[in-house]
Structure formats: C-alpha cells, structure tokens
Amino acid sequence: MSSLTITTKDALTGPVIEIAGDLDFDQAPRLRQTLGALSLRPGQRLVLDLSALRFCDSSGIAALILARNRAVAARADIALAAVPAGTARVLRIVGLDHVFPMHPDVDAATAVRPGARAPS
C-alpha cells in the first residue's frame, strides 16, 4: 500500500499544501478531500509543494488539475513548487506545464511579486 502525507500551512500569499509520498489512485482522494476543506480567498496563491513527492500517476495529475480548478473558482492563483523531474516531464508531455506555474521551491512560489500587495 502506498503512503501519502499531506500537510497544510499558511504563507503570506495563501495556503501551502505539502504533498509527500505517492500521489496515486489509492491516495489521490485524500488530496481531493484536503482541497475540498481548504479556505481559499480571491487574490491568494495556492502552492502545492511537491518536494517530497515520490510518485504521481494519472489520478494524482487529475487531483492537481482539481486543485487548479478550485483556485480558479476562488479567483486565486496556483503554483507548483519543487516539482520532481519525472512529474515535471509528465506535465510537459500533456501540456500542463503551460497551465501550472512551476517554481524551484516554496520560497520562490510564495514570494510576493514586486508592486503586488499580499492578499488580506
């Protein structure tokens, strides 16, 4: 059985969800449940920290798309941080690298852009 750890924390720009382990068919519903309970306000940025992601199958990719859709519905941004090479390759192959802004780490993903105000 695969294992997955999901941790939610707050940054100045909005929520950060750390996803560690295997985001697969068995575990993707846990991420969808976390996203459903998430409070996301307009102007915030939802960051998915994938630095400890070991594996991501098509169910995991679908959960990432759900996260994006949730952010769009809330009039918020989304960003992926520290995307593992294998997952980044899949995102490129299916064209999702044009849908998800990707950053090298959480600090870069949660940086307040010059001239922008942090969400209240």
Say whether domain 4-109 belongs to CATH 3.40.50.10860: no
Strand ranges, E, within 1-120: 4-11, 14-23, 45-56, 77-81, 102-103
What's the N-to-C CA distance of the chain in angstroms?
41
Q: What is the pLDDT of residues 3-49, one digit of tens each?
A: 999 999 999 999 999 999 999 999 999 999 999 999 999 999 999 99
What's the predicted TM-score (pTM) here?
0.92
pLDDT confidence of residue 11: 96
Q: What is the pLDDT of residues 57-87, one digit of tens each?
A: 999 999 999 999 999 999 999 999 999 999 9
